[in-house]
């Protein structure tokens, strides 16, 4: 699963990188976050078709990590829906409608996973996994709208927009760290993945292709990342070689 990631790029960088046409939150900007955890607000790239328009407009929005389906009684379910397995998207009631109509990209610099330390039953070593070329990691995601029945219709917080990260099997060297990984969408397929007019889930599913071996690389990092209150660029710095060697 993907339960923690880093997203430190500035808004203007994301607007340019993803060729965003509309800043959905022009008065808001998230700060660099090297320890993004579930229930936090995150950036999402999505496409919506305005009224009387013929095509979708690519937007950058701020959404809450942890998907809340429209039928949920309250938003607490979101903490249990931070990931969606690629293999069952079209079947699960929590995800199938969003998979057909509300797909997004979740920009990241990389993500964290934990691997048990040999000989240490309770100890796990965190790793930072990121694109080998230093580029952005465009994680496949879904988003949803949830209407809060306790708020008035004119309340700006009436609607909650939330998201989930799609995961797949981890292959190659990454599989030794954890058996799951976020699904990334290649740049050539961004437009098709985001297209709200693409509602054929079988066709959308063909865009979910796990990263080829070598596209992502990993290195051990400090256990400081274990505490969600810790933040800053030091969390993604590689452990000194002698410390990493001592793990094995």
Q: Catalytic positions, please?
A: 2, 113
- Cα–Cα distance, 73 to 136 (Å, whole number): 35
Give residue for tokens 């799609």.
166
- Cα–Cα distance, 235 to 213 (Å, whole number): 25
- Cα–Cα distance, 46 to 162 (Å, whole number): 12
* CA-derived radius of gyration, the chain: 18
Give residue for tokens 């379910």.
77
What is the pairing mode between strands 110-116 and 57-65? unpaired
Give residue for tokens 């306790």.
150
- Cα–Cα distance, 186 to 118 (Å, whole number): 35
Which H helix or E strand runs over 242? helix 241-245
What do you get for the CA distance between the two ends of the chain, in Å?
24
């Amino acid at each position: 699963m993907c339960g923690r990631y880093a997203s430190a790029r500035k808004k203007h960088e994301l607007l340019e990188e993803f060729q965003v046409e509309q800043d959905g939150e022009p008065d808001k900007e998230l700060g660099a976050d090297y320890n993004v955890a579930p229930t936090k607000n995150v950036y999402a790239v999505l496409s919506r078709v305005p009224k009387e328009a013929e095509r979708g407009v690519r937007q950058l929005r701020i959404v809450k990590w942890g998907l809340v389906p429209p039928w949920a009684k309250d938003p607490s379910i979101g903490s249990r829906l931070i990931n969606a397995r690629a293999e069952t998207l079209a079947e699960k009631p929590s995800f199938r409608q969003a998979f057909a109509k509300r797909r997004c990209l979740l920009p990241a610099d990389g993500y964290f996973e934990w691997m048990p330390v040999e000989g240490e039953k309770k100890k796990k070593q965190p790793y930072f996994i990121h694109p080998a070329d230093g580029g952005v990691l465009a994680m496949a995601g879904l988003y949803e709208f949830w209407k809060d029945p306790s708020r008035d219709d004119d309340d700006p917080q009436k609607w909650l927009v939330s998201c989930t990260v799609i995961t797949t099997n981890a292959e190659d060297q990454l599989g030794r760290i954890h058996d799951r990984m976020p699904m990334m969408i290649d740049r050539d397929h961004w437009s098709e993945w985001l297209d709200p007019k693409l509602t054929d889930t079988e066709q959308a599913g063909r865009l979910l292709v796990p990263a080829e071996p070598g596209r992502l690389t990993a290195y051990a990092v400090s256990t400081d990342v274990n505490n969600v209150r810790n933040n800053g660029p030091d969390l993604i710095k590689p452990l000194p070689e002698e410390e990493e060697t001592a793990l094995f």
